[in-house]
Amino acid sequence: MRISEIDPDALNIEQLTKLLFGGIRDDGKSGDCIFVFGGKTPHRVLKAAQLYKHDRAPYILLSGGSGRWDHPKPEALWMKEHLLALSIPNDRILLECEAANTTENVIGSMMVLQKKFSLHRLKRLLVVSSPYHMRRCALTLKTYMPNWIEYTLCPDHRPYGQSYNWWKAEKERNQVISEAKALVTYVREGILMDWDIEL
């Protein structure tokens, strides 16, 4: 089934899990850069630091502005402070501080990646976000990034909001349902490419 054909309001827990989490796992491959989508939670920062310290990639790109938050500090700078506290070297951290949503994370980060690496030299990005956001991250990258770049999807290790427990806590349950609706809407509107999903 294509994502554009899905009625998110009609999906049960198993189908929602397949839609947002199905097939998403860290394949263990190394890459050119760790790409962290914006969010002011420690889980993404900890995951990025772990990947860096295991020599999976030599740089970390933090993307995110301040548009969704009352605090004036961009998400990328907030995450950078936490990475520095985890002993990640300052010269290994790249910043994109303008993005207000997932699409802007990708589009805004393309210039940062171009200036640092030249896009034609990039082969693989390690992608970090919340587990239930990874499907949208992957489709956004495939929609807007050059098609020769490959991705290793590295969801963070938050205690809730995982494929095996997202429905057990109200906050995460609401976020997953909202994410499913957003994903289908963005595909139908042409913001994201369509994709086959087995539900």
DSSP for 10-30, written as a single string: G--HHHHHHHHHTT-------
pLDDT reported for residue 7: 97
Tell me the mean pLDDT in the region 88-98. 97
Tokens of 105: 């994370």
Domain membership of residue 80 (yes or no) is: yes
Q: Reading across the β-sheet that carries 150-153, which strands appear in turn?
A: 93-96, 60-63, 33-36, 124-128, 150-153
Mean pLDDT, all residues of the chain:
96
Tell me the mean pLDDT in the region 107-118. 98
Question: Are the CB atoms for 3 and 187 separated by under 8 Å?
Answer: yes
Tell me the mean pLDDT in the region 139-160. 97
Domain membership of residue 174 (yes or no) is: no
User: Helices 13-21 and 170-188 sit at what angle, rounded to 10 degrees?
Assistant: 60
pLDDT reported for residue 73: 87
Tell me the chain's radius of gyration from C-alpha atoms: 16
What's 86's domain CATH number?
A: 3.40.50.620
pLDDT reported for residue 105: 97
Domain membership of residue 123 (yes or no) is: yes
Tell me the mean pLDDT in the region 93-99. 97
Question: How many structural domains is the chain composed of?
Answer: 1
Q: For 46-55, how does the pLDDT look when each residue is reduced to its tens digit (9 = 90+)?
A: 999 999 999 9
pTM: 0.95
Q: Which domain holds residue 133?
A: 25-159
Tell me the mean pLDDT in the region 138-155. 98
Domain membership of residue 120 (yes or no) is: yes
pLDDT reported for residue 67: 63
pLDDT reported for residue 40: 86
Cα 59 to Cα 44: distance, rounded to the nearest angstrom: 15
Q: How far is CA 144 from the centre of its chain?
A: 14
pLDDT reported for residue 39: 87
Alpha-carbon distances, residue 123 vs 70, 112, 150, 151, 163 (angstroms)? 36, 15, 6, 9, 28
pLDDT reported for residue 71: 64
pLDDT reported for residue 70: 62
Domain membership of residue 38 (yes or no) is: yes
Tell me the mean pLDDT in the region 151-178. 96
Tell me the mean pLDDT in the region 107-127. 98
Domain membership of residue 102 (yes or no) is: yes
pLDDT reported for residue 93: 98
Domain membership of residue 31 (yes or no) is: yes
Q: How far is CA 93 from the centre of its chain?
A: 17
Asked whether residue 144 carries a pLDDT value surpassing 70, the answer given is yes
Domain membership of residue 92 (yes or no) is: yes
pLDDT reported for residue 72: 76
User: Helices 13-21 and 134-144 sit at what angle, rounded to 10 degrees?
Assistant: 40
